[in-house]
Copies of this chain bind each other. A is one copy, B any other.
Amino acid sequence: MNKQDDVLRAAFHGAGRRLTAQRRLILEVLEESEGHLDAEALHDRVKARAPNISLATVYRTLAVLEDMGRVEKHSLGEDHGHYEAVRDRPHYHFACLGCGKVIEFDAPEVARVVRRLNKEKGVQVTDAHLNLSGYCARCRKKQDEGMRG
């Protein structure tokens, strides 16, 4: 009914898709979350506001949104997918192996690598993921204490 909705509807329509209550809600939750939810976590949050949305719809919507370029799927160490609403600046991830915390960071160096690769190998890069893992400051401290104790 409002302007936001019209914009969103147009975006879906442009992709040959329809705007439904479920899709609007899923995108909304994804955008107001700080990212990196897996499908089930997202499903839980969504169900809080619309109890009978199915997990299947979550997966289907994520595929649609990914296709529309509004959501990105990441493989953050874990063996299942994590999803995140696309923002303006590209950013990358560090995942703590101790507590699971994810730190986002920017890294202009990646663009340089991409440029070089394009020049040297003639490839066209459409997507770049830099995933670091290790231990965050807090977990490192804990480890040290554990060793002492």
Contact with B along A105-133 (1 / 0, CB 8 A): 10101101110010001111111111111
Contact status A130-B133, CB under 8 Å: no
Contact status B126-A129, CB under 8 Å: no
Task: Give the interface size bracket for A toward B.
Answer: 20 to 34
Oligomeric state, in copies? 2
Cα-based distance from A131 to B114 in the complex (angstroms): 11
Contact status B125-A94, CB under 8 Å: yes
Contact status A133-B122, CB under 8 Å: no
A12 CB within 8 Å of chain B: no
Give, as a whole number of angstroms, the nearest-CB distance from A125 to chain B: 4
Contact status B113-A130, CB under 8 Å: yes
Cα-based distance from A70 to B94 in the complex (angstroms): 22
A64-112 interface (Cβ within 8 A of B)? 75, 79, 81, 92, 94, 96-97, 103, 105, 107, 109-110, 112
Select one of B110, B123, B133, B137 contacting A137, CB under 8 A: B123
A-B contacts, 18 listed (Cβ < 8 Å): A75-B75, A79-B81, A94-B123, A97-B126, A107-B113, A109-B110, A110-B113, A122-B136, A122-B140, A123-B132, A123-B135, A123-B136, A123-B137, A124-B135, A128-B133, A129-B129, A129-B130, A129-B132
